[in-house]
């Protein structure tokens, strides 16, 4: 089965120019001189090398601290896709959506919508927060869009689109009423805001949100919640 890194690599080959949320175009190029190797599996992603790969020492830098995630630790080779995937800082700086149609760097608002209306499988989705960590090496290919997994920074989060929609819409009701995301995360609201919003409605929302608070899906919903345009 194809690895997430290999799936992203194939998606990028279909759309080598990817526009970021800020409007910048990232141009991806692809290696054409990968030497033959005897290892059948990639050390990092565990995907098939198809007889081509580079020695680990040529790809994995001394600063790489995730040796424990190697999917095929007995292998001595890194596949073409992983070599490419660790060559571009943009794959660390931006969120990634890879589908059968191509590669995208979606905005937070687009990701919010994607979690409610996910693409047709297969797909890979990573959500960058700091922009300083590799997420694609931890990701997985989703073969269903009913219940799927995304990498939220370096944390896997299981997403049910219907459940996420319910949570994020409640969060956005509070957020657009003037509560801060920190208040929503903690459930500690300022008294004057409670009075302005309405105690009964807040109690009704809190009854539902309290069941999800401290969960990863709840944190993700708060992070992606957006303000209504006025």
Q: What is the DSSP string of 14-52?
A: H--EEE-TTSPEEE----S-PPB-S-SB-TTT--B-TTB
Tell me the mean pLDDT in the region 191-219.
96
Instruction: Please determine, for residue 61, whether its predicted confidence score (pLDDT) is greater than 90.
Output: no
Under DSSP, is residue 152 helix (H, G, I), strand (E, B) or coil?
strand
Break the chain into its structural domains and give their ranges: 4-159, 161-224
Strands (E), 63-122: 77-78, 96-99, 102-104
Encode burial over 118-154: b for 16+ CB neighbours within 10 A, e otherwise. bbeebbbbbbbeeeebbbbbbbebbeebeebebbbbe
Give 127's strand partners: 152
Angle separating helix axes 161-175 and 199-209, nearest 10 degrees? 150
Instruction: Please determine, for residue 229, whether its predicted confidence score (pLDDT) is greater than 90.
Output: no
Residue 163: what pLDDT?
Answer: 97
Instruction: Please determine, for residue 118, whether its predicted confidence score (pLDDT) is greater than 70.
Output: yes
Tell me the mean pLDDT in the region 24-37.
96
Residue 65: what pLDDT?
Answer: 78
Residue 127: what pLDDT?
Answer: 98
Instruction: Please determine, for residue 210, whether its predicted confidence score (pLDDT) is greater than 80.
Output: yes
Its sign, for the CA torsion 123, 124, 127, 128, is negative
Place 230 in a pLDDT band, splitting at 50, 70 and 90. low
């Amino acid at each position: 089965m194809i690895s997430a890194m290999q799936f992203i690599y194939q998606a990028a080959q279909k759309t080598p120019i990817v526009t970021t949320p800020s409007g910048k175009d990232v141009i991806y190029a692809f290696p054409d001189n990968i030497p033959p190797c005897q290892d059948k599996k990639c050390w990092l992603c565990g995907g098939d090398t198809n007889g081509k790969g580079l020695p680990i020492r040529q790809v994995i830098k001394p600063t790489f601290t995730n040796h424990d995630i190697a999917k095929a630790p007995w292998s001595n080779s890194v596949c073409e896709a992983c070599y490419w995937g660790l060559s571009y800082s943009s794959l660390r700086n931006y969120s990634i959506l890879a589908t059968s149609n191509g590669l995208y760097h979606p905005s937070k608002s687009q990701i919010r919508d994607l979690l409610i209306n996910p693409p047709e499988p297969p797909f890979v989705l990573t959500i960058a927060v700091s922009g300083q960590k590799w997420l694609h090496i931890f990701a997985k290919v989703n073969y269903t869009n009913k219940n799927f997994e995304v990498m939220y920074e370096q944390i896997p989060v299981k997403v049910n689109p219907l459940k996420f929609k319910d949570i994020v819409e409640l969060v956005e009701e509070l957020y657009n009423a003037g509560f801060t995301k920190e208040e929503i995360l903690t459930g500690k609201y300022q008294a004057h805001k409670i009075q302005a919003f309405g105690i009964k409605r807040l109690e009704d929302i809190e009854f539902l949100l309290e069941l999800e608070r401290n969960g990863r899906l709840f944190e993700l919903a708060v992070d992606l919640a957006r303000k209504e345009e006025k």
